[in-house]
Amino acid sequence: MAQSKNFDPVTAWQQLVGQWERQINDAAAGVSGTEEFAGTMNQAAKLSFAARKALDETMERMAQSMQLATHAQMISVIERLDRIEEHLQTIAAALAPADRQAAAREPKRTRRPTPDGGA
Task: Report how far residue 78's alpha carbon sits from residue 80's, in angstroms, rounded to the nearest whole number.
Answer: 5
Tell me how far CA of residue 9 lies from CA of 3, 6, 21, 48, in angstroms.
12, 10, 18, 44
> pLDDT tens, 61-113?
988 899 988 888 899 999 999 999 999 999 988 888 766 666 666 666 777 76
